[in-house]
Amino acid sequence: MKNAFLALSLFIGIFVRADEGMWFLMFIERLNQRDMEKLGLQLTAEEIYSINHSSLKDAVVQFNGGCTAELISSQGLVLTNHHCGYDAIAELSSPESNHLQNGFWAASKAEELKPKSLFVRFFVRMDDVSKRILGKVNDQMTEAEREKAIKDEIAVIEKEQSEGGKYVVSVRSFFQGNEYYYFVFQDYKDVRLVGTPPSSIGKFGGDTDNWEWPRHTGDFSMFRIYADANGNPADYSPNNVPLTPKVHLKVNIKGVNEGDFAMILGFPGRTNRWLPAGGIDQNVKYAYPAWVEASKTAMDAMKSYMDKDEKINLDYASKYARIANYWKNRQGMIDALTKFETAKAKAANEAAFDQWAQKKKNRKEYGNVVSTINTYYAATNEKARHDNYLSNLLRASELGVISRTLGSKLLEFDKASDKTDALKQSMLQTIDEFYSTLSFPVEKDILMNGIWLYVTKAGYKMPASFDSPDAISQRVATVLAKTVFSDPEQLRAYVRGEVRIEISKDPLFALSQELIAHLNATTPEMAQMQADYARAYRKLVKGLRESGLSEVQYPDANSTMRLTYGTVSALPYDKRNDAKVNFYTTLQGTINKYKPNDEEFDLPQRLIELNNTQDFGEYADKNGYMPVNFLTNNDITGGNSGSPVLNAKGELIGLAFDGNIEAMAGDVIFDDKLQKTINVDIRYVLFIIDKFSGARHIVDEMTIIR
């Protein structure tokens, strides 16, 4: 723990608001414990995070690499968001058994459904290795030399801590390369679907209500972790048994009140709270507008087919939802960062930093930091616009990246000296899986429309063969007409040895390679500029911490477990919300939004009947209404979706799933007056499971605090 305390002093500076910050668990005793106790916390730091004993962190997992989930029973039952389980639910659905649309609850463990690939990751421990890693570098190194030295040492540390492969170990950079910590994880890969509400509940409000308050969404789903007979991770087997976790959360259905303590543990994905003014300006004016436009073009191409074909709708539901979420997020970021004049405030702070750097001779290392950063952004603004048109095209298009996916695997197969029957069967299965959820007409439109947008709007250096925009549509049409990837049966015949195909010369494969290579291309001048920028950004963060000029005292999120704390918190009165105080919403408010047969606001008749008869069971609030969502002032971001919201005793009162529109700027700044976390009230979760779905046996697994 010596290294941990050496780093501790670097975290201490200007005290920040209780509701701002995504904090390392290993520092909470010294940095956050007293402040949390003032807000009402009744737990010790050891009860939240312990290396040697079971603690709350053992009940929280990263869900499938992108969300958070929590264990809520002694039988491995896991709760997360509906949108986090969306991929798995869609995969397990068909037009005949549409679990996404109709919902699903396993009547017994034998009926639980196993997706092809789904895992949860337990956080075991972490420690500071800053001194060890930074001891391998010096200021005389080039950025490339520095990166190699750090990478080599990271590989040694990860091998040391893995205990022969038992654990997954990741060393992460913090404060833009000024500190390093390792994290030890354990993965469980047999995870099965237990239940989900219908999408009319789990996704109620759709894109219209996304990032909005008041909210009325039952955004939850449930899974179960399975292990071998000894509780160890194991590949799927019918002989596996439900995991008995070290800790599972107690579920409190007493309800929440404004001002109640609220703590969230989870795996926030990414923030950029240290981003310089030039970076904010670049995103708002160049990068994000291109992202928004490219995303909308892909969404429109998908939607025109999804509305006409139920199988296509299921196959593309997850991709569409993912793109739509970021589409709205990026537009919201543009609006919020512009409204808050964030770049202007950052620029003023950087000007103050420049003055501080000039005051003493021993601060010479900071002298050119801001000018170097600004030079980089001025030189890359147009490139950022270009790259976002192209990268979002490739993010949406399966055909655009086919040289990295199916095409790459076919090339590996082609190079194999011994094409055994087993290898052929594996390749045939890969082809079947690739095309099982792919519609070539949909993908054709995504690619053609995306490329046309790119060549007409990017306004930057194009790939060599894209010099004539007027001819590009014809070229892409010809490529798609001639590619073997439009005919999966031809690919199967190739694998069986019945025909010969030169995959590397296929026109679509070549086009994909060209697009990816162009996105990744750089020049020696640009590489040097990027290296100078990386060094300057690292020194800017170091200097801002040293000078105390930055209000941010915590590291940016990077998918490592963090704690955020605050209170249940209301927004000003809003006539759209029927609640007496604007920190919660009700089932009646949900019914008030009901639009029969509407894609976003339709509701099951069963839910309407339960509301009409006030049949809420034990889950009603003491004031008689059925709660749905509530607000806290916790500081979260993407990756926190599904995170447990805990009361002062560490009991589950809800799960986080979104933020309000003002929170869209939260990746860069935190506004304690406006930004809120939107949570599903745990009482609504249990009401939907028990009263609406008739799956009382699931509730009976839990430890309920009444």
Residues annotated as part of the active site: 83, 219, 641
Of the candidates 598, 36, 643, 637, which has an alpha carbon nearest to the alpha carbon of residue 332? 637
Rg, C-alpha atoms of the chain: 26
Chain center to CA of 353: 33
Q: Is 671 exposed, middle or buried (0-12, 13-18, 19+ CB in 10 A)?
A: middle
Tell me the sheet residues that pair with 79.
70, 222
Tell me the sheet residues that pair with 224.
77, 192
* Cα(500)–Cα(532) distance, integer angstroms: 49
Of the candidates 32, 42, 38, which has an alpha carbon nearest to the alpha carbon of residue 12? 32
What tokens appear for 556 in the block? 């940016």
3-state secondary structure of 358: helix
**Residue 618, amino acid:** E
Q: Is 66 exposed, middle or buried (0-12, 13-18, 19+ CB in 10 A)?
A: middle
* Cα(184)–Cα(168) distance, integer angstroms: 6
Q: List the alpha helices (DSSP H) in 92-197.
A: 99-102, 130-134, 143-161
Q: Are 194 and 77 in contact (CB under 8 A)?
A: yes
Chain center to CA of 186: 19
Neighbour count for residue 406 (Cβ, 10 Å): 24
Q: Are strands 704-705 and 251-252 parallel, antiparallel or unpaired?
A: parallel
Neighbour count for residue 187 (Cβ, 10 Å): 14
Give the sign of the dihedral formed by CA 99, CA 677, CA 224, CA 695. negative
Tell me which residue has tokens 């668990």. Answer: 25
* Cα(183)–Cα(324) distance, integer angstroms: 32
Q: Which residues contact 192 (CB under 8 A, 6 or more apart)?
A: 112, 113, 114, 115, 223, 224, 226
Tell me the sheet residues that pair with 59.
none
Of the candidates 180, 219, 182, 173, which has an alpha carbon nearest to the alpha carbon of residue 200? 219
Of the candidates 139, 376, 363, which has an alpha carbon nearest to the alpha carbon of residue 276? 376
* Cα(24)–Cα(49) distance, integer angstroms: 10
Roughly what angle, to the nearest 10 degrees, separates helices 369-396 and 507-520? 160
Q: Which residues contact 168 (CB under 8 A, 6 or more apart)?
A: 121, 162, 184, 185, 186, 187
Of the candidates 291, 366, 274, 373, which has an alpha carbon nearest to the alpha carbon of residue 326? 291
* Cα(629)–Cα(526) distance, integer angstroms: 48
